[in-house]
Structure formats: structure tokens, C-alpha cells
Amino acid sequence: MRRYIAAIFAGALLCATSCSNMSEPEFPQFKYKAPVEKIEIANGSETTLVEGNTLQLTHKITPYNAANPTVFWKTDNGNVAMVSQTGLVTAVGPGTATITVMAQDDDAQATFKVTVTARP
């Protein structure tokens, strides 16, 4: 019985000296990387601008915690309206253009119609 107790004591002492230097085990961090499911343009779906005027478009991404919320803006008619990568639309000349905002990694997108009238 004494040998058994001595063995337990020795094991506890060994663990007390060597186990104290051990760090907590590291477990891999699994985070769900949500894709962009939907993009909305907060300004609505269309507007009319006078040539030379600007309009700042804003967007909302769903879900709010999407893995990559980066978007790109483009126009289908640069002779009518230009758009910066921050969503600033500049009316260039008379006509109609469609502005599109697209998610970088996913298929989500939204469109906004801009009609430009000539400066009076």
C-alpha cells in the first residue's frame, strides 16, 4: 500500500512541476463564412439627375456579417452616367444608364436606373 501511495505522490509531484509549464490546448477556430445573399441600394431603384449633378448611392449587404462585404460599382453607359467605386454617380449627358453594385465573391447584385436630362 505504501508503494501505491508513493507512486501516486510521485506522479502528482511530477505533474505539478512539468504540467505547470503546459499551455491550454489550442483548438482550431471554425468560423462560418457567410456569403453575401442580398444587396440593396438604399436610395431606391431610380432617379432623374440634371447633367453635371451627382448622387451618392449607398448599399446594404445581407447578412451583415458576410465573409467578404467588398462590392464593385459599374455603369452600363458611361456617356450618360459614371459611378465611382464609392457609389458616387455623376450625370454626364442626356439619356438613361443602369448602375449596378455587385458583391466581389458572390452573385448578389442590385441595380439603379439613372435618367439624365440636359442642363437647361
For the chain, domains (ranges, CATH) are 38-117 (2.60.40.1080)
For 71, the grid coordinates are 462590392
Long-range contact set of residues 106-109: C-beta below 8 Å, sequence gap at least 24: 106/35, 106/36, 106/37, 106/66, 106/68, 108/35, 108/36, 108/37, 108/38, 108/39, 108/61, 109/39
Q: How far apart are CA 117 and CA 80, in angstroms?
A: 9
Which of 10-19, 68-77, 87-96 has the weakest average pLDDT? Answer: 10-19
Question: pTM for this structure?
Answer: 0.72
At residue 33 the predicted structure's pLDDT band, cuts being 50, 70 and 90, is: confident
